Amino acid sequence: MKGIKVVTIGGGSSYTPELIEGFIKRYDELPIRELWLVDIPDGKEKLEIIGGLAKRMVEQANIPMDIHLSLNRREALEGADFVTTQIRVGNLHARAKDETIPLKYGVIGQETNGPGGLFKGLRTIPVILDICKDMEELCPKAWLINFSNPAGMVTEAVLRYSTITRTVGLCNVPIGMRMGVAEMLAVDPSRVHIDFAGLNHMVFGLEVYLDGTVVTEKVLDKLTSGAGMTMKNIVDLGWEKDFIKALKILPCPYHRYYYQTSKMLEEEQRDFAEKGTRAQVVQKLEKELFKLYRDPELTIKPPQLEERGGAYYSDAACSLINSIYNDKRDIQPVNTRNNGAIASIPDDSAVEVNCVITKDGPKPISVGDLPVAVRGLVQQIKSFERVSAEAAVTGDYHQALLAMTINPLVPSDTVAKEILDEMLNAHKTYLPQFFNPVR
């Protein structure tokens, strides 16, 4: 076998060691001959630190994988088989603004939901589409595996505004939910299967199985009886037992922002007053991680990385790439074109749903219509993603205002406009499409 060329854009990310670990574990069936880690000039120092650790990990594993570091994206993309994207436009400083500005208006400040999710999309989508343009020229047959947030909105934009059809969006929420259920049931995660359907950060477990037997009711009962299932960046407030009994399906941790809005807002405001934003917490974690990564004796992914909040992201990416390359036809939840899998979402829209993963990409598994109790919320968020993606591409102020207003976490058009105007000004450096539109 000639081997595979993988390019990771955002290679200086603190998550990258998990990606390296995943590729090393799978090397026998996923023979990567070249792994290019790419970043921007501002990320040079982090890239070099990550690159040094990556090379030590590969050397320790004794596999013939060449690690290349580059600040030149086009140089790296030439002839790639897979391109993974894990970028944060504006870095954690931009995230801090996404989290703090909405709070001033009594609105949830969160990096992928509400106003913060909109602005992360407005900053990220144009950069991802620029990467797609380079791929169209330099590696048109490559697969784009994106786990830059907001992953669903980014996938929506790539499907609508790019010719890169080999694209898959990836999130760690479904795998985290499966791990959480396995912990509740005190079983190995391989014995748990969940029928996932919905959108990125708006996905539901329609049915839960243990060894092929439905255990949804048992899991929901545990969920409301003290067994937690959340993420490092989302506080676990528990769930109202009768509400979950009525819902009858498994919510994801991000649903707390929609079903427990006032309580989540109170928690955010208290956390902000006591310890600052999540972005500030992450900045501290990253400093500690990169101090570890610098150690010339370190040759493994440090366990402290799991505190970062994105556990399983990279491992999920490695599994996805492995399944596409080897035509495994296993089932994985990913963001892809709906193609009729969810009846109440347009066929050409991006959804997060279980798929059979083949050499030709994900084949969505049909679930029919979503339960009526959640259908409207999912459709509203899909409308938000569609309008947001259009605003990101066109730089149309009115589309951005429309997106902000239809998001269910924003209480009114007046508040939407106030937040939009302040956030546009705060992020002006990263939003040239709104300030220097092409006529």
Question: Which residues does the annotation mark as catalytic?
Answer: 254
Do residues 129 and 162 lie in contact, with contact meaning Cβ atoms separated by under 8 Å?
A: yes
- Contacts for 62 with CB less than 8 Å, ≥ 6 apart: none
Instruction: Give the residue among 63, 81, 68 at the shortest CA–CA distance from 25.
Output: 63
Closest CA to 239 of 219, 254, 257, 260: 260
What secondary structure does DSSP assign to 278-322, as a single string? Answer: HHHHHHHHHHHHHHHHT-TT--S--GGGGGGS-TTHHHHHHHHHH
What residue has token string 């951005």?
400
SS3 readout for 197-247: EEECCEEEEEEEEECCEECHHHHHHHHCCCCCCCECCECCCCCCHHHHHHH
Max Cα distance, the chain (Å) = 60
Query: What is the Cα–Cα distance from 224 to 31, expressed in whole angstroms?
Result: 44
Helix, strand and coil percent figures for the chain, each rounded to 5: 50, 15, 30
Instruction: For residue 211, give both structure tokens.
Output: 């060894």
Rounded to whole angstroms, the Cα distance separating 145 from 343 reads: 25
354: left (phi over 0), alpha (psi -120 to 50) or beta: beta
Phi, psi (rounded to 5 degrees) for 337: -65, 135
What's the sign of the alpha-carbon dihedral 339, 342, 343, 346? negative
Identify the burial level of 53 via C-beta atoms within 10 angstroms of its C-beta, where 0-12 means exposed, 13-18 middle and 19 or more buried: buried
Asked if residue 164 lies in contact with residue 158, where contact means CB atoms within 8 angstroms, the answer is yes
- Give the 3-state secondary structure of residue 6: strand
Return the structure tokens found at 380. Answer: 């509203």
**DSSP assignment, residue 30?**
S
Phi-psi region of 212 (alpha: psi -120 to 50; beta: other; left: phi over 0): left
